[in-house]
């Protein structure tokens, strides 16, 4: 994957996540969830069977930032095909579908691993899905 394709993919996900968070902030029922969420998540976008493009999402009390690359310390690691992740964010794929079904490479559509602290952090995974999935 060439650098311009990586930049385009990053910009696509950055704009998508920012738009979803902005929409969630406009709904008063999501205010507490958005403002109190605190996590460092690395997301591996599976481009090829053995290649992942890594991005990171840092959320801290209502401030969200997306960056390229892995973080040294993180709470949760996600791996997914970019196409499946987009369908997850727009609500076409449910959490159950993402965890149980396989992607085009033969892996689960959404795979998650422990953080750098060794904790599983299922709560962060559930809260993250509430934040990133459109209603």
Taking only the tens place, the pLDDT of each residue in 114-128 is 898 888 888 898 899
The reported pTM is 0.90
CA nearest 128: which of 11, 52, 36? 36
Considering its fold, how many domains does the chain have in total? 1
What is the overall mean pLDDT for the chain? 91
Q: Which pLDDT tens digit goes with each residue over 77-96? A: 999 999 999 899 888 998 88
Write out the residue range of the structural domain in which residue 122 sits.
3-132
The CATH number of residue 86's host domain is 3.30.1050.10
Backbone Cα Rg of the chain: 14
CA nearest 17: which of 82, 99, 94, 98? 82
SS3 content of the chain, % helix, strand, coil (to 5): 45, 30, 30
């Amino acid at each position: 994957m060439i650098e311009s394709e990586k930049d385009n993919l990053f910009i696509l996900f950055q704009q998508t996540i920012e738009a979803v968070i902005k929409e969630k902030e406009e709904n008063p029922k999501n205010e507490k969830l958005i403002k109190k969420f605190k996590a460092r998540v690395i997301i591996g976008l599976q481009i090829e069977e053995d290649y992942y493009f890594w991005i990171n999402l840092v959320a801290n009390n209502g401030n969200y930032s997306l960056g390229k690359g892995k973080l040294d310390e993180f709470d949760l690691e996600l791996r997914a095909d970019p196409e499946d992740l987009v369908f997850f964010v727009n609500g076409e794929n449910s959490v159950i579908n993402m965890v149980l079904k396989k992607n085009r490479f033969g892996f689960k559509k959404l795979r998650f691993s422990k953080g750098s602290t060794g904790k599983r952090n299922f709560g962060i995974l559930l809260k993250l899905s509430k934040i990133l999935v459109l209603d």
